Amino acid sequence: MLSGFASSLLQRVTGTDDPAVLKASWEDPSILQVLGEPSLVRAVEEIHENRDKLGKYKEVNEVVLAVRKVDSLTGLTGEEVPSLPEVPAQITPGYFDVEDWDQLRWYEKDWRIGRRLQEKGFCILKGSLSSDERQRAVAQADELRRAGGFERLPREVISGYFGEGSAWTRNLSPDDPQEEALRLVESRLLALGSDLAHCSVAFSGFRLQGHMPGMVHCSRGVEDQPNPGLADPDVANYYLGIFMRKKLKLFYFLGPNPALLSVCPATAQDESQVFRTVLQPGAMVVIRAEACSCGLFPSPSEPCTVVEVDFLAEQKHSKESAGDRMVPPQELQEWLLDRLKAIVDNDVQADVPEEWIKLARQTFVRSRPAKILEVSHRLPGQHCVWEEVALGGYDCITEIPPSKWEVDARGTFLKLKQGSLLIFLGEMTCLEEEQGQSDDLNSKDGVCPNEGRSDEKAPTEENKIKAAEADEIKSFKCKEKEQRDDEASTVESERVYEEVTETSLWLDVKPGLDKTDPTKASVLEQVSALGDDIFGDDPLVGCSKRGGWRMHLAVGQVAEKTTLLGFIVWRIKPERNMLIVSQLAVPEQFRRHGFGKMLVELLIAEAKRLPQVYTVSLSSLPGSVKFYKRLGFKQDTFSSAKAAFLRYFDPDPAGADDYKMYTRHMGVVEGVKTTFSDSELADFGLLEGSEVDARQVLLYHSAEECLGQAGLGRKDTQGQSIGFFCGLSGNDRYFEWMSGSLKTSKIAASLMSSGGVVNRIAWFYGSKGPSMAVDTEESSGAAALDTAVAYLREDRCARAIVSGVNWIQLPVSLILCCATGMLSASGRGRAFDESADGNVRSEGVVSVLMEAHGRWRRAAEAEVDEFRPAAEEWDAELQDDMQKHRLLICGSALNSRGQSSSLLAPSSAAIQDLIESALKDAKCPASIVDGVEANAGGNSLSDAVELNILRRCLAAEDAAKTTTSSASVRATKTLIGEPGPPGGLACLARACFTLQKAVSGPLIHLRQLSEIAAQQADEDETLAPKLLLTTEATASL
């Protein structure tokens, strides 16, 4: 017989007091589900009073389903009731995915259960407990509940467990005698979870690490009051920590009566994808919590008991740690957002945890933020994964490759079509003139053949070439008996070519040892004869000396006799990073058959494998140039204004006055296009062959990638109000133009102008928004960002592309920086470290796509000028927060240091004013700051001043507070160097990625805090714990 309270609820839901209808309704799961929620009961009762209210609740499937069922029981047609989407057919009672799991071997058990967990996210098993054991466990739970041993869960939390099936809960203890039967159930779950832990990586992608204590759940009875609401923030934090952890959920359904099980996939789009079945007593269910959520809906008159054990996923303290988190229940999220919004609206400070104040300020900003939609960057270290750079602290600084700048040297120059190895053809006069020595094997006593010339007056370029042709160049000189011209050199030799079989290579021939072998002795005699015939000297004599000369031979079988096919003599000069070829010769009867090519390709391949070799020195005779072109080299024209790196390098910093640089390191961007194709030149309205600034090309491709990530193309931007703000500084093209390397034309002025670089891209995309170049030296990119934020806040453009670019096209900028002494001689930027000796220059380009965040209006009642979201649009504002964006810029500021001791000296007052202005613009206290991206790059004084100011600005505002939060300090410039204009945007790109992963990388190269920074920290010990300097050693703990 129904109790009075249950009968009253049923009459309200069914709208009748007919006993037959009430009895049938009591047995229907859809109506019982409505009875468990007072708001649903009121909704159904309202529809019975006025059928026009159906439109109001047409989206609430539980209400629609209950009304349709009541109509069918009372004899109404229910035609006006909206149709529900089709749901999967219910599984017949007694159905299980696996019935005999306890009798299977452990590997079969893992495979059968794990396969279903991988396919659908859950698996229903037939439990191994007998009915008597289950009844004893249920009786123990009922007895403990009546004795007050259970507690009520907050209503915002129950959906994270089993919904209505978790109205009462109790944690099992290991030694309570009143829980003996319940602990038996727990032991079965622990045994199953331990077996599944062996294959958890295969079916879930994570490893199981420990488990939570067993938990008993009892459903709500008919006469139970609704669960209380959540009030304590500490309790909310506790449940957030539980629900946001990945886990494998195992529970044993003890009954004693069936209940409706609902399993909703995390990717479900509508009600049709929700799985429902009637769960029988004795069933065990395994659920991947990150893939599915579940709920139990028993009859209020027939409460059920469930025992649950959660196996937790292994937490990774690395770049994947953010992926270990799950979304908490929707009700708990809404409760948390309501409390955080109240803190911000009422400016609550008292009796509220500091972390809640910080979270509230970070969630609901009072300024008008700008959101970053997409980020595109080309920075040093593109050969490695960006995750390694941003999260792991990968050092992207390398030695400057010789191929970075073109070389000025006498003779003809050839480059490989594939690869970065640079080939020099000719004497390296500009590199050897200081020693007055030649690398020619046949030079006598190491004296250059041209040393007897008068060096009082530098010869002209024309005379140099004539002298090179006239002199007997011993560095790989092919002197033949009859001088051929270029055309005659392509004619096939008239001598009869004998067929060669079994060709082989002899490497590193040692004449003194190899003459003991008769076969090798015969080949060496042919080497001596060939060398004397072509070069007038025996090459074996030079190889026997201790000068480092080495010889490779190509031999083959000709008429069953081992015959010489060619030889090459070479050596490595490590102080010049050069491999020098002295002689290369092939017998006349074997020429034009690829043996010389085979030897050269062997040597080039060996040079590429040697890390100390950057260049290969060959011959510059016209016939030789033709020979090398056939090997796959191409000829390049070099300007005399473009100098080789080695020519301008001097390790002594005092040589900076002589147009030298003392650094060998920089952050190099490789694999990027720096020239436009003919079709791209036509798109930009330029003539074919126009020499465009490399920064123009980098900006275009970066902006194109950034817009492409947002799904925008050139057609989508035509006529739109999109602003282009670019930070760039300096221009190496002026140096090229003054040296005569660039031609003067009608468009030369626009091609060399920084403003023209940005305006041409805006013209290409057809934008009607602002377009400007910002030049504030190293802060150009950050200044462009601040300008774009101001334009977006004032609705002067709908979207903005903010970019920063720097391209070190010539070594001029490095030489000038070395003259100031600001660059690191060791080639590493050691921020805050005792051994810091300067920063490292680098290059790169960064672009971000931005737009104003949300819909805003100016508060008319406010006396101060501030933006607030409209109250009636708050739900839409929250929905806008969920849309894709990388991060929000809440505050921005820009200033100058004012008058200080010098132009380059750091100003602590200016830095402090800048930080305070940015926080004021964001309308947020300094206590909300969790991380700081420092400008530090390796300058001891500037880094120490910046660190001290950060300590003071981020200190707690209320001196009475006993605890202060800490902020992690990072320095991106220690990873990629000082890129100049794109430096600030590079830090922003790293912040986007680290916020996505919720991991902060270490400060690399920090071993010992500098004496200046440590001294300033000791002066005020209360500020010391405010900043966290995470080193590589502490990051690995």
Going by their DSSP bridges, the two strands 633-636 and 412-416 should be labelled as antiparallel
**Superfamily (CATH) of domain 101-328:** q2cbj1_9rhob like domain (2.60.120.620)
Question: By three-state DSSP, how is residue 846 classified?
Answer: strand
State how far the Cα of 436 lies from the Cα of 447, in Å rounded to an integer: 7
Average pLDDT, the chain: 75
Residue type, 784: A
| pLDDT value for 623 | 53
Assess whether pLDDT exceeds 50 at residue 856: no
pLDDT confidence of 519, banded at 50, 70, 90?
Answer: confident
Query: What is the rounded average pLDDT of the residues 362-381?
Result: 84
Strands 412-416 and 398-399: unpaired
Residue 986 confidence class, pLDDT cut points 50, 70, 90: very high
3-class secondary structure, 159: helix
Give 759: exposed, middle or buried? Use CB within 10 Å, 0-12, 13-18, 19+: middle
In the predicted structure, residue 440 carries a pLDDT above the cut 60: no
Q: Is the pLDDT of residue 391 over 90?
A: no
Q: Is the per-residue pLDDT at 752 higher than 90?
A: no
| Domain range annotation of the chain | 4-74, 101-328, 335-364, 496-636, 678-884+929-937+960-1035
Residue 604, amino acid: I
Query: How crowded is residue 242: how many other Cβ atoms within 10 Å of its Cβ?
Result: 16
Burial (0-12, 13-18, 19+ Cβ within 10 Å), 425: buried
CA distance 938 to 855: 43
Higher pLDDT, residue 720 or 544: 720
Two tokens, residue 825: 């001689």
Decide if 818 contacts 653 (C-beta within 8 A).
yes
Region of residue 75 (phi > 0: left; psi between -120 and 50: alpha; otherwise: beta):
left
- Token representation of residue 1003: 């400060």
List beta partners, residue 230. none
User: Does the pLDDT at position 477 exceed 60?
Assistant: no
Main-chain phi, psi angles of 215, to 5 degrees: -130, 130
- Residue 552 main-chain phi, psi, to 5 deg: -115, 140
| Structural contact between residues 866 and 367, judged by C-beta atoms closer than 8 angstroms | yes
160 residue type, one letter:
G
Helix ranges (DSSP H) in 768-838: 780-793, 812-820
Query: What pLDDT shows up at residue 1019?
Result: 54
Q: Per this entry, what is the length of the chain?
A: 1037
Residue 389 pLDDT:
78
Which residue is associated with the tokens 């300090």?
A: 969
Q: Quick one: what percent of the chain has pLDDT higher than 90?
A: 19
The pLDDT, as a whole number, for residue 858 is: 36
> What are the φ/ψ torsions at residue 965 (nearest 5 degrees)?
-80, 160
- Least confident span in 132-136, 231-235, 246-250, 405-409: 405-409
* CA-based nearest residue to 522, from 488, 553, 487, 499: 553
| Nearest of 26, 200, 241 to residue 111 by alpha carbon | 200
Sorting pLDDT into bands at 50, 70 and 90, what band is 843? very high
pLDDT reported for residue 882: 42
Query: Which of the two residues, 597 and 577, has the higher pLDDT score?
Result: 597
Half-sphere exposure of 856 (CA within 13 A, CB side): 18
Q: Looking at 313-317, 433-437, 642-646, 983-987, which range is the least confident one?
A: 433-437
Q: Is the pLDDT of residue 138 over 70?
A: yes
| Angle in degrees, 0-180, between the axes of helices 983-997 and 780-793, rounded to the nearest 10 | 70
Question: For the chain, what is the radius of gyration of the CA atoms?
Answer: 39
What's the mean pLDDT in 1004-1030?
A: 68
Least confident interval from 7-21, 655-669, 712-726, 842-856 = 7-21
Query: For residue range 683-696, what is the model confidence (pLDDT) as tens digits?
Result: 888 877 677 888 99
Structure tokens at 976: 């990629």
Q: What's the whole-number mean pLDDT along residues 566-587?
A: 79
- 732: number of Cβ within 10 Å: 17
Q: What pLDDT shows up at residue 372? A: 92
* Residues 863-869, mean pLDDT to the nearest whole number: 40
pLDDT of residue 323: 56
Give residue 912's pLDDT. Answer: 87
pLDDT, residue 470, reads 40
The confidence score (pLDDT) of residue 546 equals: 53
Choose the most confident range, by mean pLDDT, from 136-140, 673-677, 993-997. Answer: 136-140
Q: Are 300 and 32 in contact, with CB atoms under 8 Å apart?
A: yes
- Could you tell me the pLDDT band of residue 439, with boundaries at 50, 70 and 90? very low
Structure tokens at 712: 């925008």
831: which residues sit within 8 A by CB, 6+ positions away? 934, 936, 937, 938, 943, 971, 973, 974, 1003, 1005, 1006
pLDDT at 875 over 50: no
Task: Please give the sequence-ordered ranges of beta strands (E in DSSP) within 298-421, or none if there are none.
Answer: 305-313, 370-378, 398-399, 412-416
SS3 readout for 915-936? HHHHHHHHCCCHHHCCEEECCC
Q: Kindly state the DSSP code that residue 458 receives in the 8-state scheme.
A: P
Q: How confident is the model at residue 722 (pLDDT cuts 50, 70, 90)?
A: very high
Contacts of 716 (CB under 8 A, 6+ apart): 707
Q: Which residue has the tokens 């076969």?
A: 519
**Cα distance between residue 621 and residue 472, in whole Å:** 10
Phi and psi torsions of 775, nearest 5°: -125, 100
DSSP string, 76-129: ---TTSPPPPP-PPPBPTT--SBS-GGGS-HHHHHHHHHHHHHHHSEEEEE---
User: Cα 336 to the chain's mean position, in Å?
Assistant: 30
- pLDDT over 80 at 895, yes or no: yes
Judged on CB neighbours under 10 Å (0-12, 13-18, 19+), 486 is exposed
Q: Rounded mean pLDDT of 527-538?
A: 84
Stretch among 6-15, 688-697, 728-737, 879-888 having the lowest mean pLDDT: 879-888
pLDDT digits (tens, 9 = 90+) for 311-361: 998 876 544 455 567 888 888 888 888 888 888 777 666 667 777 777 787
pLDDT in tens, 547-564: 678 888 889 888 788 899
208-211 and 122-126 beta bridge pairing: unpaired
CA dihedral in degrees (343, 344, 347, 353; nearest 10)? Answer: 40
- CATH superfamily for 678-884+929-937+960-1035 is Thiolase/Chalcone synthase (3.40.47.10)
Q: CA-based angle 784:787:793, to the nearest 5?
A: 140
Are 440 and 449 contacting, i.e. CB atoms less than 8 angstroms apart? yes
Confidence (pLDDT) at 504? 81
| Residue 249 contacts residue 287 (beta carbons within 8 Å) | yes
Lowest mean pLDDT among 22-26, 688-692, 772-776, 900-904: 900-904
Q: Is the Cβ–Cβ distance between 543 and 509 less than 8 Å?
A: yes
Q: Which of 999, 956, 888 is nearest to 362 (CA)?
A: 888
- Lowest model confidence (mean pLDDT) among 94-98, 240-244, 402-406, 912-916: 402-406
pLDDT tens digits for 282-303?
999 999 998 898 999 887 778 8
In the DSSP assignment, the letter for residue 618 is: E
* Inter-residue long-range contacts of 736-744, CB under 8 Å, 24+ positions, other chains counted: 736/639, 736/641, 736/809, 736/810, 739/639, 739/640, 739/641, 740/641, 741/639, 741/641, 741/642, 742/691, 743/691
- Architecture of the domain whose range is 496-636: 3-Layer(aba) Sandwich (3.40)
Would you say residue 813 has pLDDT above 70?
yes
DSSP 998: T
Three-state SS string over 673-714 comes to CCCCCHHHHHHCCCCCCCCCCHHHHHHHHHHHHHHHHCCCCH
676 versus 82: which is more confidently predicted?
Answer: 676
d(CA 117, CA 120): 6
Whether residue 495 has pLDDT greater than 90 = no
Predicted pLDDT at 721: 93
What's the CA gap between 845 and 758, in Å, rounded? Answer: 13
Each residue of 934-963: b (16+ CB within 10 Å) or e? Answer: bbbbbbbebbbbbbbbbbbbbbbeeeeeee
Q: Is the peptide bond before 518 cis (omega within 30 degrees of 0)?
A: no
Residue 965 has pLDDT above 50, yes or no: yes
DSSP letter at 408 equals: -
pLDDT score, position 612: 63
- Determine the pLDDT at residue 940: 86
Q: Does the pLDDT of residue 221 top 60, yes or no? A: yes
Q: Are 464 and 458 in contact (CB under 8 A)?
A: no
Mean pLDDT of 29-38: 68
pLDDT class of 465 with cuts at 50, 70, 90: very low
906-956 pLDDT, tens digit per residue, is 788 888 889 889 988 888 878 788 889 998 988 888 888 888 888 888 765
